[in-house]
Structures are given as C-alpha cells and as structure tokens.
Amino acid sequence: MNKSGGSAIPILVLVSGNGTNLQALLDAEKENRLGGGVIRGVVSDRAGAFALTRAAAENIPCFTELPDTSLPREQRRRDLSDRILKRARETDAVLIILAGFLSILEGELIHAYAGRIINIHPSLLPKFGGPGMYGDRVHRAVLDSGETESGCTVHIVDEGTDTGPALLRRRVPVLPGDTPDSLAERIHREEHTAIVEAAALMAERLASGTEKVFEN
Ligand code: GRF
C-alpha cells in the first residue's frame, strides 16, 4: 500500500555494477519510504554484478541479461531491450528504474513503458549527458569545464540518451582540489537520496493516476 492507501506498485530495477543505488531502494522499501513501490525483480547486464548479491540477500528474483556481442549495435540494443521487456512483464512491473545501468535501451520497451522508466545520471542534466557520458568521464568533463557545481538528475527515459524530462535534481559544490573520484563520491551520496525520492514520487503518481508533472 502507498501513503494514500493505493495498491502496491511493482518495480523492476536494472543494474550493471556495485548497486549502492539499488541498496538505497531496498532499504527504503523496508522502511516504507518507497511510496508503495515494491521491488519485484532485478536485472543485470553484467555477469556477477555485486548488485545481484544485494538483491539475492533480500530474496528478490535476479536475472542476468547479457548484451549479445555477436549482433551489430542497433540489433544488440533492441535484443537486450526486448529481453528486459519480457522480464518486466513476467514480474508485472509497472515502474522500471535504471539504477546504474549502462546499456542503452530502445524499441518496444520504451513505448510500452513510456513515462514509467526512470534513470539516475551523475550530473545536472542536460549538462554532461548523452552518448559516452558515464562514470568518470562525466566528472572529468565537469572539472575540465570549470563548473562550480554538479550533482545528479533523475529523469524519465525516452528514446534519446539522457534526454527525457527531469523528475528531480540534487546539487553539490565542486570544491578546489576535487578529483573525479572525490566529486563522484560527493555526488554518489546525493544519488541515494535522489533515487529513493524519485521512485517514491513515481510510485505515488502511478498509484493515484496523477497527471505527470516534471521539473522541466
Ligand atoms: C551511479 O553514479 C549512477 O549515477 C551511474 O552509475 C553509478 C552506479 O552506482 N549511472 P551504483 O552501482 O548504484 O553504486
């Protein structure tokens, strides 16, 4: 049940790595801070991602769906997206959360779940987003450009890369002497709050059928 007494919102979380954002979501669900969201499954596109160990520890169904490297890029993305759509349907997911997921999604999945897929990105989008902007590359670009602040953005996933409407942002200062690692760490702490807030917001909206209202 969510705060307004609505039904639970099943969530599928997509991961590629360590899964600290997934952990924040798992903790929030246990503490009833997920707006009625219930994590029904976790999909990794990397074998042995530690995020899967975190999910298994909570008895959440885990799936590994590896990109098929024998396929050309477009087909590879489509094939992976189709397999994720199948997992989403199997788990009855209403909301899909990309919590540190590195593959690019496209095709039917994006349409079937339009407005119901969210992603967290470690910059103040639209700055420092787009193809190839992930991990250290983002933070290095922020430092190279002399920005005085950075942060993270949770946004709706559309057909572009990091282009969908923002749900919320959290800001951090860029400090003198920052390295990509120190900046990444400061942002990562904010991500854990942002992803939980955004997931709860989406779950509440989906449960109540509220019209979508985005930050931009
Ligand atoms: C985060 O910085 C997220 O913004 C990016 O990938 C990282 C994942 O971290 N997309 P974790 O696996 O959740 O710890």
Residue 171: closest CA among 214, 124, 136: 124
- For 27-52, the pLDDT digits (tens) are 999 999 999 999 999 999 999 999 99
CA of 21 to the centre of ligand 1 (A): 6
Instruction: Give me the pLDDT at residue 209, please.
Output: 82
Q: For atom 3 of ligand 1, which residue has the closest CA?
A: 100
Q: 3-state DSSP helix/strand/coil percent for the chain, to nearest 5?
A: 35, 20, 45
Tokens of 9: 């919102």
**What are φ and ψ of residue 96, in 5° steps?**
-120, 130
Average pLDDT over residues 68-97: 97
Residue 39: closest CA among 196, 170, 205, 212: 196
Q: What is the pTM of this model?
A: 0.94
**Catalytic residue (one of 121, 139, 155, 192):** 121
- For 124-148, the pLDDT digits (tens) are 999 999 999 999 999 999 999 999 9
DSSP 136-154: HHHHHHHHHTT-SEEEEEE
| Residue type at 106 in one-letter notation | E
Ligand 1 atom at shortest distance from the alpha carbon of 122: 4
| 121 carries an active-site annotation | yes
Residues near ligand 1 (Cβ within 6 A): 17-21, 51, 99-100, 120-122, 188, 191
Distances (CA, A) of 69 to 43, 62, 79, 104: 18, 22, 11, 14
Least confident stretch, 9-13, 175-179, 195-199, 212-216: 212-216
Bridge partners of residue 64, in order along the sequence: 44
Residue 5 pLDDT class (50, 70, 90 cuts): low
Residue 78: closest CA among 109, 100, 99: 109
CA of 4 to the centre of ligand 1 (A): 30
Residue 195: closest CA among 35, 62, 45: 35
Q: For atom 7 of ligand 1, which residue has the closest CA?
A: 100
Residue to mutate (ligand 1; options 53, 98, 120; most atoms within 8 A of CB): 120
Residue 87: closest CA among 119, 109, 69: 109
In the block, residue with structure tokens 């397999």 = 83
CA of 71 to the centre of ligand 1 (A): 26
Q: For atom 5 of ligand 1, which residue has the closest CA?
A: 100
Bridge partners of residue 149, in order along the sequence: 173
- For 144-197, the pLDDT digits (tens) are 999 999 999 999 999 999 999 999 999 999 999 999 999 999 999 999 999 999
DSSP 174: P
Classify 148 as helix, strand or coil. coil
| Residue type at 100 in one-letter notation | G
Q: Within a 10 A sphere around the Cβ of 103, how many other Cβ atoms?
A: 18
Ligand 1 atom at shortest distance from the alpha carbon of 121: 4
Ligand 1 atom at shortest distance from the alpha carbon of 191: 4
Ligand 1 atom at shortest distance from the alpha carbon of 18: 12
Residue 112 has pLDDT above 70, yes or no: yes
Residue 211 has pLDDT above 50, yes or no: no
Q: Cα separation of 164 and 113, whole Å? A: 13
